[in-house]
Amino acid sequence: SLYARVRELRPVADPPQGASVGAAIELVADAPCPYWRDTVAKSYGLGTVSRAIPTGTAPSAFLLRLLGDPLSATAVVNPQFLYYDATGKQIRTSTFTISLGSNDYLEIDSSPAAMTIMKSVGGTLTQDDTLLTAGLFPQPLDPTAHGNYYLSQWPMVKVAATSGTPRGELIFPRMWG
C-alpha cells in the first residue's frame, strides 16, 4: 500500500494565488516483501549434476518440483533435493520418502508463508507434509550466505534418489535488496 502523511505545515513566502500555507508531504510505501523482484519467475531444470542457480542479491523463495521419469517404467524412489554453496560445499539436504511413477511429482513451496509439500500421484494432488523424512525443509536460495552476486558465484542445487532417474524444476523470482 502507498499512503501520504503531512510532515510539516509552514508559511510559504510567495504562495500561489489563493494559497496561504504550504506543506511538506512524505510518501510511505508499505509492502509485504522489502525486496525488488523479477516480474516473471525464472525456471531451471534440475538433474543429478550440480547446477549453479543465478539469483539476485536477496534470498529467493522457490517452488521445487521433483518429478518421476516419464521415459522409464522405473519409479524414482526417495527423491532428494541437495543445496550447495558456490564453492560446492553441501549446505542442506532434503529427503522425501515416496515412490514417484512416470507422471507423479512433488511440489515443495519454500516461501515462509507456505512451506508446504504437495504430491501428485496418479493424477490426484494432495498436501502431505509428512513426506520430508530426513534433512531440513528447503529454505530460500541465499546468494549472500552461499554465493556472491557481484562475482557471479551462485548457490548450486541438484536432485538425487535411492533409485530411478530423478528430475526437478526450480521456479522462483530473483530478489534484490
Q: Tens of pLDDT along 8-56?
A: 666 656 666 666 555 555 666 666 677 888 899 999 999 999 999 999 9
At 173 the pLDDT is 93
The least confident of 21-30, 40-49, 131-140, 165-174 is: 21-30
| Rounded Cα distance, 30 and 96, in Å | 38
Q: Does the pLDDT of residue 156 top 90, yes or no?
A: yes
Mean pLDDT computed over 57-71: 92
At 129 the pLDDT is 93
Mean pLDDT computed over 143-161: 94
At 132 the pLDDT is 95
Mean pLDDT computed over 102-108: 95
CB neighbour list of residue 92: distance below 8 Å, 6 or more residues apart? 82, 83, 135, 136, 138, 139
The least confident of 17-26, 124-133, 143-152 is: 17-26
Query: How much of the chain, in percent, has pLDDT values that exceed 90?
Result: 68
At 1 the pLDDT is 47
Q: Is pTM, for the whole model, over 0.85? A: no
CB neighbour list of residue 145: distance below 8 Å, 6 or more residues apart? 85
| Rounded Cα distance, 50 and 82, in Å | 9
Cell 514417484, residue?
100
At 46 the pLDDT is 97
Residue 88 contacts residue 82 (beta carbons within 8 Å): no
Residue 94 contacts residue 81 (beta carbons within 8 Å): yes
